[in-house]
Chain A
Amino acid sequence: MNLFGLMETSGGAMQAERMRAEVVAANMANAETTRTASGGPYRRQEIVFAANQGDPGFLDSISAASGGGLSGSLAQAALPTLSLPGAPTAAPGVHVAQVVEDSSPPLKRYDPGHPDAGPDGYVSYPDINPLTEMVDLMGATRAYGLNGSAVQAEKGMITAALEIAKP
């Protein structure tokens, strides 16, 4: 039994939750962005988590116990630029499977003087609700703290294990 694998699980989760907070921050920062590299207004990003495939024996029993619904399509859709390095095969934790773009239509605001206004005088703004983002941020913060305290507990266990050898 490897206690350090435990910290990897919790550490990976903290990394994933921090990425979620970063995505929320990017959404809030771009709430009024009407111009992007791909054209059109900024689109709200959302993060999708997927459970990791840990060491085979342990994970088999986990996915058998939880109905096998973990290793589905989400895990395969990892974005190469955003997935955590080596995460899907590491500890039985979590990884960022995907960052998806919200496909809802942009908000239209009448502002004919705006340089990005269409011929009808309406400007497309991203459909970002500060409330949704704040709630998401709160969830990320809480989950980050939860996994942080798990790391604390695991540290305590490892320190305790070191005590065995002390005279």
Chain B
Amino acid sequence: MGIEIETRLSEQIARYLDLAASEAKLTAANMANIDTPGYRAVGMDFEAEMQGALNGVDQGQAARQVQVRAVQGLVARPDGNNVSMDREGLNLAEAQLKFKTGVALLREEYQRVMDAIHADK
């Protein structure tokens, strides 16, 4: 029985962290453009991306580019900008929590490998 340093789970968590960081990046871009005339808020379908990433891990594919899409159903201001401060603030908090969750899980997973390495002591 082999236990690898890079387990399937750690690979999956790594993709999860990447997606959380992508989400934070999109949110930061939206926040930065809160006063840019004509800017439309962008976002991503986290669940679909995560599903794709899980399939990608199983099939040994490299991480793919996140599909960025315009967010629907936001109210645009007269200057054509539809970024909402509250929505972006919430999204950033959510992305941050997702990221921290992923970090905690990854730590746990690496600790497991560490324990296996030190099992004889």
Q: Which residues of A contact B (CB under 8 A)?
A: 1, 3, 5-6, 9-10, 12-13, 16-17, 20, 48-52, 54, 57-58, 61-62, 64-67, 69-70, 74, 91-94, 139, 142-143, 146-147, 149-150, 153-154, 156-157, 160-161, 163-164, 166-167
Contacts and interface: CB of A to CB of B under 8 A. Distances in A.
Interface residues of B, number: 42
A10 B67 contact: no
Given A156-B96, A157-B21, A163-B107, A93 B29 contact: yes
A62 B42 contact: yes
Nearest to A50: B36
Given A61-B67, A66-B70, A157-B99, A1 B22 contact: yes
A69 B21 contact: no
B29 A167 contact: no
Given A1-B18, A67-B40, A49 B33 contact: yes
A48 B37 contact: yes
Interface string B49-73: 0000000000000000111111000
A9 B22 CA distance: 13
B32 A93 contact: yes
